[in-house]
Amino acid sequence: MDKIEVYVDGACSGNPGLAGCGIFIKESSNCMKISVFLGEATNNIAEYMALLIALDELKAKKAFPIIVYSDSELVVKQISGEYKVKDTRLKVLFNKVIGLIASFPEIEIKHIRREENKTADALARRAIALSRLVG
């Protein structure tokens, strides 16, 4: 059975500031790139939003093993239960993520170094850059 690899990243210009998220999905020979401008947000909110949008995009792919990679140590360790979620805004996003994760039969979320997440990072920064051109 094929597995789906997903790379997620959030970015901010200032913290808080203009924020975007990037998602790179690799499935067999297909790839999907997603950039979403989030408006004003913190970096941690952008990281959670990238994960939420990716999980929402993957709802139809529940039959496949999924590995999600994020360079946000905070998000990965909060999802695994290693860190507590103290910020009330992050708790809302955390609960949504946990609810979505529970609907997938086979999913892992792993922490990676920033250097290993360049495509998702570029997509997140692209969303911010494009918003400046349009706005």
Q: Which residue has the higher pLDDT, 77 or 30?
A: 77
Residue 100 burial (C-beta neighbours within 10 Å; 0-12, 13-18, 19+): middle
DSSP secondary structure letter of residue 116: G
Considering the chain, what percentage of its residues have pLDDT values greater than 70?
99
* Domain 4-134 top-level CATH class: alpha beta
The residue count for the chain: 135
- pTM score, two decimals? 0.95
Pick from 28-32, 38-42, 72-76, 123-127: least confident? 28-32
Q: Find out whether the peptide bond into 105 is cis, omega within 30 degrees of 0.
A: no
The answer to whether residues 10 and 43 touch, using CB atoms and an 8 Å cutoff, is yes
**Segments making up each domain of the chain, as ranges:** 4-134
**CA angle, 99 then 103 then 104, to 5°:** 125
| Digit-coded pLDDT (tens) for 55-85 | 999 988 877 899 999 999 999 999 999 999 9
